[in-house]
Structure 1
Amino acid sequence: MNGSGQKGPDEKYCSECGAIIKARAEICPKCGVRQASPFGSLGAVAPNGKSKLAAILFALFLGGFGIHKFYLGRSGAGILYLLFCWTFIPALLGFIDAILLLIMSDDDFNRKYGGV
């Protein structure tokens, strides 16, 4: 808790009272309410603002064009996906990427794609 009234990258708002608490806190120290993500593990947001759910949806629906790669900061791979999109191989790879993102832990997602 930074004391400035603004939420830091490792903080979130309590779902009940709105107090700024640590992002990994399970219980709000101010009101005592247990915190839960509305999307479960899919609601993970990396410190740079990248959403795991958005990445999964991009990979599922626009994976053939590599949009999820551009979103996650992997522009080189995104360009390769665009160059070969006519072969439908990137669409298959995008589906596989979506599954891999779905089973990836929040910590691994933050470690791999959370760099600011």
Structure 2
Amino acid sequence: MENILYKDENSKYCSDCGKIIKLRAEICPNCGCRQAHASNLNEKNRIAAALFAFFLGSFGAHKFYLGKIWLGVLYLIFTWTFIPSVISLIEGILFLIMSDQDFNMKYNR
């Protein structure tokens, strides 16, 4: 096993013990802790999007969460018409019945 003595572009610190490990390591060889990857930290959650749509959808919160900023602004502008409320209710239901794979393909590229 290769022992890394200093941190370079191909290494990182373990999120639990702080030892230097390989950049692509999923489990720290020193403490056995599973490592969180940056790509996983930025992924959108289907259930969270549905909750945003149900509870704050009239303000476009789910659109902001999913990175659709201009649509979120459009929802904010037309909040007073209650049209975004109806649309977000439908979108919330669609998020709940959508499979995780379909959601990831659409929103977590």
Fold similarity call, TM over 0.5 = yes
Match of 2:96 in 1: 102
Per the normalisation by structure 1, the TM-score is 0.61
- Tell me the distance in 2 between the aligned counterparts of 1:3 and 1:50: 21
> Normalized against structure 2, the TM-score is what?
0.65
* Distance in 2 separating the partners of 1:103 and 1:87: 27
1:47 offset after TM fit, Å?
6.6
Name 2:25's counterpart in structure 1. 2
Q: What stretches of structure 1 move > 2 A for 4+ residues in a row?
A: 1-5, 7-10, 46-49
Larger Rg, first or second structure (1 or 2): 2
- The two structures, once aligned, show a CA RMSD in angstroms of 2.1
Report what 1:42 is aligned to.
Answer: none
> For 1:64 and 1:107, how far apart are their aligned partners in 2?
26
Q: For 1:21-66, what per-residue CA distance to the aligned partner results, in whole angstroms no more than 9, with x for missing partners?
A: xxxxxxxxxxxxxxxxxxxxxxxxx772311111110000000000
Cα 1:111–1:9 change in 2 (3 A) is: farther
The 2-side partners of 1:70 and 1:113 are apart by 12
Separation (CA, whole Å) in 1 of partners of 2:83 and 2:97? 22
Q: Do the aligned partners of residues 93 and 2 (structure 1) sit closer, same or farther apart at CA in structure 2, a change above 3 Å counting?
A: same
Partner of 1:71: 65
Unpaired stretches in structure 1, ≥5 consecutive residues: 11-45
After TM superposition, give the deviation of residue 82 of structure 1 in Å. 0.4
Match of 1:14 in 2: none
Structure 1 CA distance for aligned equivalents of residues 25 and 102 of structure 2: 26
Aligned length: 80
